Amino acid sequence: QKEVEQNSGPLSVPEGAIASLNCTYSDRGSQSFFWYRQYSGKSPELIMFIYSNGDKEDGRFTAQLNKASQYVSLLIRDSQPSDSATYLCAGRYGKLTFGTGTRLTIIP
């Protein structure tokens, strides 16, 4: 069973701080990972994807992939109240396999 696991939270972070979201995966077979953001009552929105070991930055978001340790993380710098949402990590094992999501709340 190929799995992607996330801490369901909730995770509370003060406004302006760095939010760190983590995800582990069970099978080294996956080569690509995706982070989605989902607001309550809305569909998931793609934020970042990463294929290679190391960091990938896009604005306030940085995705990190460590294949040796089988974890993926998402850092959100200068957190804003609008970042409050559930963040879903997904790995590609033929099909896209999602974690259960981490609920993030940014406290003003």
Partner 1 sequence: KAGVTQTPRYLIKTRGQQVTLSCSPISGHRSVSWYQQTPGQGLQFLFEYFSETQRNKGNFPGRFSGRQFSNSRSEMNVSTLELGDSALYLCASSLGQIDSEQFFGPGTRLTVL
**Amino acid (one-letter) located at 59:** G
- b/e map of 50-83 (b: 16 or more CB within 10 Å)? beeeeeeeeeebbbbbeeeeebbbbbbeebeeeb
Q: Establish if 52 lies at the interface with partner 1 (CB under 8 A).
A: no
Q: Establish if 58 lies at the interface with partner 1 (CB under 8 A).
A: no
Looking at 13-21, 55-63, 70-78, 88-96, which segment touches partner 1 (CB under 8 A)? 88-96
Shortest Å, Cβ 54 to partner 1: 17
* Pair type for strands 11-14 and 102-107: parallel
DSSP label of 75: E
Q: Establish if 94 lies at the interface with partner 1 (CB under 8 A).
A: yes
Q: Establish if 45 lies at the interface with partner 1 (CB under 8 A).
A: yes
Q: Which residues bind partner 1 (CB under 8 A)?
A: 31-32, 34, 36, 42-46, 49, 51, 88, 92, 94-101
